[in-house]
Amino acid sequence: MSKPLNIVVMLGGPSAERGVSLRSGAAVAVALRSVGHHVTELDPRTETWTLPAGTDAVFLALHGTYGEDGTVQRQLDLLGVPYTGCDAEASRVAFDKVLTKQACVAAGVPTARFLVVNSAATPWPAGWQPPVVLKPVRQGSSVGLQFVEEVAQWPAALAASIQFDSEVLVEEKIVGRETTVGILAGTALPVVEVRPKQGVLDYQNKYTPGATEYFCPADFDAATTQKIQAAALGAFHAVGGRDYARVDVMVRPNGDPVVLEVNTLPGMTATSLLPKAAAVIGLNYAQLCHRMVELALLRSPAVPAGGVEKGAHVV
């Protein structure tokens, strides 16, 4: 990759996380231009987008449905264009919280007790005690996240969460410290601890500047750090991940990790958590973006140097 590349950054898209994706993609485009690449920004608001002639690689800065659930990956596979991040199948599994948990259970990766409901009229589940967490099965970035601290809150919380998907994951609320682990080229990066200044890490606290504090590397002893990283890597491999991802992990007071989910296209603003962790190992933001493109090209040696043909598109 000594010569400048023609890179398309896909950003925005049709999901509930469009705003975050626009910020991620804009930052990535600036970074890739800063190291000499030719960058085109492409917003796939519909599925009739066209890649420019001579595209060498696509950097996926999309979040949420369409971009993170395997859809755009399948379309790019049809075009034969290298793209950053996980393949279509791993994306599909990781975006579905139930499939992710099933994969973790099968692989022996620690995860919280759960069940799935598909109706706003579902009564409080027998045999369960609050608190629980409700999450739309196929959404990201804390969209539709609800906490139920007492049974009386269940109907309203379920109604609010099920607006975003036909199924809702009901999960034991893990009490402990919230962490996230970036994975890059098969290696776990330093652990980041996430501490909202007030309340819980919901959408508002995640994206309101100054609302949440981040500590990297997190202040755990070496043995606990290794357990957290091993759980994150286990989940990454369980869903079939490749290149990079970010795995959210709760840590119980006794130091036991509990995997929450795998984010195959994590936030990529300059202050996002994966870039924070990469900076700790000496990889600045532009270098990280360049490395992600490099990984895509390294596993696509058969792609012609000239990129895709003029007029290639998806219908």
Residues designated catalytic: 17, 141, 207, 246, 248, 261, 263, 267
Q: What DSSP element (H or E) covers 262?
A: strand 257-263
Greatest pairwise CA separation for the chain in angstroms: 61
Dihedral of alpha carbons 138, 139, 143, 147, sign = positive
**Left (φ > 0), alpha (ψ -120 to 50) or beta: where does 176 sit?**
left
Q: Decide if 211 contacts 196 (C-beta within 8 A).
A: yes
3-class SS of residue 39: strand
Which two three-digit tokens encode residue 13? 């898209």
Q: What dihedral do alpha carbons 274, 276, 281, 285 form, nearest 10°?
A: 80
Cβ neighbours for 269, distance < 8 A, ≥ 6 positions apart: 23, 24, 27, 275
Q: Which is nearest to 312 in space by CA: 48, 13, 37, 14? A: 48
Nearest 5°: phi and psi at 284?
-75, 175
Q: What DSSP element (H or E) covers 31?
A: helix 18-34
The whole-angstrom separation of Cα 275 and Cα 187 is 14
